[in-house]
C-alpha cells in the first residue's frame, strides 16, 4: 500500500469528504477506484469512490460508497488514505510515501527502527520513527542517505552527530 494523503474535512450534506494528497498531479483518481482508509492502526478498509472532483492542486472532493451523511464523513477526518502501489507505479518508485515501514540504519547507531510515517514540510520529507521510547524526526534528504534498498525495505543513513538527541 502507498500512503497518498488524508481526509481533512467533510464537504456538503451528503457525506462527501475533502481529501488532500501529496502527488504532483490531479488526474489519477476517478469514480470506481478504491481508496483504502486506515480506520484503525494498520487496517486498510477499502472504500469505493463514486465521485471524485479535483478542486486544486493536491486536493479532491470525493464521494465514497456507504458514506451518506455529514456525520459519517466527519468520522473520517484525519484518517490516512492509501492506494495500491499498482495504481500509481511512478510514485511507488521514488516517493518517500512508499518508505513507511522501511527500517532506518544509521552508520554510527545501527538500526534505529521502522519508519512509522513520513511528513512533507515544504521541500523536505521527514521520517517519523520511535527510537529509545520517543518520537524522532529524521530528514530524508539525499546528503544523509547512503543507500536506499526498495527490495529489502531499508535505508542506510549517515546522520549528523546530535540529530537523534533533538
Domains and CATH numbers, the chain: 2-85 (2.40.30.60), 97-165 (2.30.30.240)
Confidence of residue 94 (pLDDT cuts 50, 70, 90): low
**Which residue carries 470506481 as its cell?**
32
What CA–CA distances, in Å, run from 160 to 42, 143, 157? 31, 10, 9
C-alpha cell at 46: 477499502
Question: How much is the average pLDDT of 39-60?
Answer: 89
Percent of the chain with pLDDT over 90: 54
The confidence score (pLDDT) of residue 137 equals: 93
131 neighbors 159 (Cβ within 8 angstroms): no
Confidence of residue 24 (pLDDT cuts 50, 70, 90): low
Does 100 have pLDDT greater than 60?
yes
**Which residue carries 462527501 as its cell?**
16
Confidence of residue 1 (pLDDT cuts 50, 70, 90): confident
Q: Among 27, 123, 45, which Cα is nearest to 81's?
A: 45
Residues written for the chain? 166
104 neighbors 138 (Cβ within 8 angstroms): yes
**Which residue carries 470525493 as its cell?**
62
Confidence of residue 53 (pLDDT cuts 50, 70, 90): very high
The confidence score (pLDDT) of residue 42 equals: 79
**Which residue carries 515544504 as its cell?**
122
pLDDT, mean over the chain:
88
Helix (H) or strand (E) holding 6: strand 2-11
Does 56 have pLDDT greater than 90?
no
Question: How much is the average pLDDT of 109-124?
Answer: 87
> CA-CA distance, 66 to 69, in Å (whole number)?
9
> CA-CA distance, 52 to 64, in Å (whole number)?
9
Question: How much is the average pLDDT of 126-154?
Answer: 90
In the sheet with 103-106, reading across from the earlier edge strand, the strands are 110-114, 103-106, 154-157, 145-149
Amino acid at each position: 500500500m502507498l500512503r497518498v494523503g488524508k481526509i481533512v474535512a467533510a464537504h456538503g450534506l451528503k457525506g462527501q469528504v475533502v481529501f488532500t494528497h501529496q502527488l504532483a498531479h490531479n488526474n489519477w483518481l476517478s469514480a470506481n477506484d478504491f481508496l483504502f482508509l486506515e480506520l484503525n492502526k494498520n487496517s486498510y478498509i477499502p472504500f469505493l469512490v463514486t465521485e471524485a472532483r479535483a478542486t486544486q492542486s493536491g486536493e479532491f472532493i470525493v464521494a465514497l460508497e456507504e458514506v451518506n451523511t455529514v456525520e459519517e464523513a466527519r468520522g473520517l477526518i484525519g484518517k490516512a488514505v492509501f492506494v495500491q502501489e499498482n495504481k500509481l507505479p511512478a510514485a511507488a518508485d521514488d516517493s518517500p510515501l512508499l518508505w513507511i515501514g522501511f527500517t532506518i540504519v544509521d552508520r554510527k547507531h545501527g538500526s534505529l527502527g521502522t519508519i512509522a510515517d513520513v511528513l512533507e514540510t515544504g521541500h523536505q520529507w521527514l521520517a517519523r520513527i520511535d527510537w529509545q521510547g520517543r518520537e524522532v524526526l529524521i530528514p530524508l534528504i539525499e546528503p544523509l542517505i547512503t543507500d536506499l534498498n526498495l527490495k529489502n525495505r531499508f535505508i542506510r543513513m549517515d546522520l549528523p552527530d546530535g540529530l537523534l538527541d533533538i
